Amino acid sequence: MNEVLDFLLLREPNILYVVIGTILIGASAGLIGTFAFLKKSSLLGDAISHAALPGVCIGFLFAQEKDPVFLLLGSFISGWIATYLVEWITIHSKLKKDTAIAVILSFFFGIGIFLLTIIQGSGMAAQSGLNTFLVGKAAAIQTSDLLVFGGVALLIILFVVIYYQPLKILVFNRDYALSIGLPVKTMEFLLNSAIVMAIAVGIQAVGVILMAALLITPAAAARFWSYRLSKLLIIAAGIGGFSGWFGALVSYTAPNMPTGPWIVTVLSVFAMGSAFLAPKSGMISRIKMGRENANKILVENILKTIYLFCEKEANPLTRSILYTDILEQRFFTPNNFSKGLRWLDKKHMIILDKNSLKLTEQGYEESKRVVRLHRLWEVYLYEKMNLAADHIHPNAETMEHVLTPDLEKLLLKELDHPMSDPHQSKIPK
């Protein structure tokens, strides 16, 4: 518990460095990953991350120690080679992109594991901890490494901020970018380099196996919350930064835990939470909307049925209608029927008696409105769409629940205020 407090309150200066470093790493990955996501190259990101492993090993063999610059350079170069090879295979062979990605991913990862095994068997003293690159260990980042990693992460963030507008144009519409003379080739090179760089610095914290999640998941989660690219980038960077910080917390308080899986779990919670909770596009609000619609259809259908009994009365509000009469006129399941009546009662549309009901003034107006829409729509189908009179009822059944007051006005105007529907029933005013 003490460690958690130490970490949260940044009690040691070295914790501060780790926190700043991991937040920068996570934020830069989330930021540049949004462009990979929008370019639809999420899978390529996964291939690049796996391809970073042989680079890390070769970088280590070169330096004979875990020098951050060499490790970074190694993973950057092998990541780039993988990117280039995927493109080359896609263009120059019959293989499609997904095949090329799968082949390159496993090929490079295989070589990486091979090299790692050789290094571990070599008995070099400095090699201990190299396998943290597989699943990540945020707390293993040295203060001196952080300068390099944090610097690169800042560079990536700066790149996105400065090149925001051209990147947006390029990713949305490449042909258009070419037509206004943007240096498309150069920008694509820079963008790809930034993605590879973000991966190269991120693998220290997350590990090569799970790195793609830190790149792509923040953008995927953010997509539920905004359709504006600028906000999307800020949210994705925030989620990435938070998961980086959380990874460091886990890594510091439980040194034997691999950081990568924890970061990925937090990210997935964000993504799934967004998928459920986001307004409008989230699942919960869509389920809610569906239920509201179902309820609207139910009560409006009940009102419409009641209206048929009141229609010919001189004083409709005094007419008492038996439940059994309503159910005879139109089928409702017992459950739905009582649910609908309860709702109408609560809204003071009807007054319930033991086994009969009466409409209130506002209930009567509402029922008139539903019937009016139904009959107006029937006239519309009959006159403007040339449908036969016996074909229009089912369609009007649905439309009456959908039509808004604005559309009602439009209908009335277009049909020139008709008096009766194609079945010769009066259209209530």
Partner 1 sequence: MTVKNPSIAVEAHNITVAYDRQPVLWEVDFEMPAGKLIGIIGPNGSGKTTLVKTLMGVLTPDSGYVEIFNEPLHEVRSKIAYVPQRESVDWDFPASVYDVVMMGRFSAKKLFQRPSKQDKLVVRQSIEKVGLTPFIRRQIGQLSGGQQQRVFLARSLAQEADIYFMDEPFVGVDAATETAILTLMLTMKDQGKTLIIVHHDLQTVSEYFDEVLLLNTRVIDYGPVETVLTDANLKAAYGGQLNVLSKVGELMKQSEFPVREKEFKNRTVKK
Non-local (6+) Cβ contacts of 222 within 8 A are 34, 231, 232, 233, 235, 236, 239, 274
Cβ atoms of residues 303 and 358 within 8 Å: no
Taking each helix axis from N to C terminus, what angle separates 229-253 and 211-222, rounded to the nearest 10 degrees? 140
**Residue of 128, 173, 293, 420 that binds partner 1 (CB under 8 A):** 173
Q: Which of residues 39-68 bind partner 1 (CB under 8 A)?
A: 40
Q: Amino acid letter at 188?
A: E
Give the shortest CB-385-to-partner 1 separation in angstroms. Answer: 17
Give the x-and-dash track for 215-254 against partner 1 (CB under 8 A). --------x--xxxx--x----------------------
Residues paired with 322 in a beta bridge: 356
C-beta of 114 vs 172, nearer to partner 1? 172
> Which CB, 8 or 385, lies closer to partner 1?
385
Give the Å distances, CA to CA, from 419 to 91, 367, 427, 428.
68, 17, 6, 8
The CB-of-360 to partner 1 minimum distance in angstroms stands at 38
Q: Is 180 in the site for partner 1 (CB under 8 A)?
A: yes
Q: How far is the CB of 406 from partner 1 (least distance, A)?
A: 13
Residues 265-324 that bind partner 1 (CB under 8 A): none
What residue type is assigned to position 123 of the chain?
A: G
390 or 406, CB closer to partner 1? 406
Q: Which is nearer to partner 1, 229 or 387 (CB)?
A: 229
Structure tokens that stand for 280 in this block: 């409008």
Among left, alpha and beta (phi > 0; psi -120 to 50; other), residue 352 is beta
User: Of 140 and 169, which has the nearer Cβ to partner 1?
Assistant: 169
Enumerate residues 6+ apart whose C-beta is below 8 A from 395: 377, 381, 387
Site for partner 1, residues 250 to 269, rule: CB under 8 A: none
Radius of gyration of the chain (CA): 32
**Residue 162: CB minimum distance to partner 1, A:** 7
Q: Residues 142-171: x/- map of binding to partner 1 (CB under 8 A)?
A: --------------------xx-xx-xx-x
Between 92 and 354, name the residue whose CB sits nearer to partner 1: 92
Q: Which of residues 40 and 426 has its CB atom nearest to partner 1 in the complex?
A: 40
**363-389 b/e with 16+ CB inside 10 Å = b?**
bbebbbbbbbbbbbbbbbbbeeeeeee
Q: Which residues between 20 and 39 bind partner 1 (CB under 8 A)?
A: 38
Number of residues that bind partner 1 (CB under 8 A): 25
Phi, psi of 198 (to 5 degrees): -60, -40
| Interface contacts to partner 1, rule CB under 8 A | 38, 40, 162-163, 165-166, 168-169, 171-173, 175-176, 178-183, 223, 226-229, 232
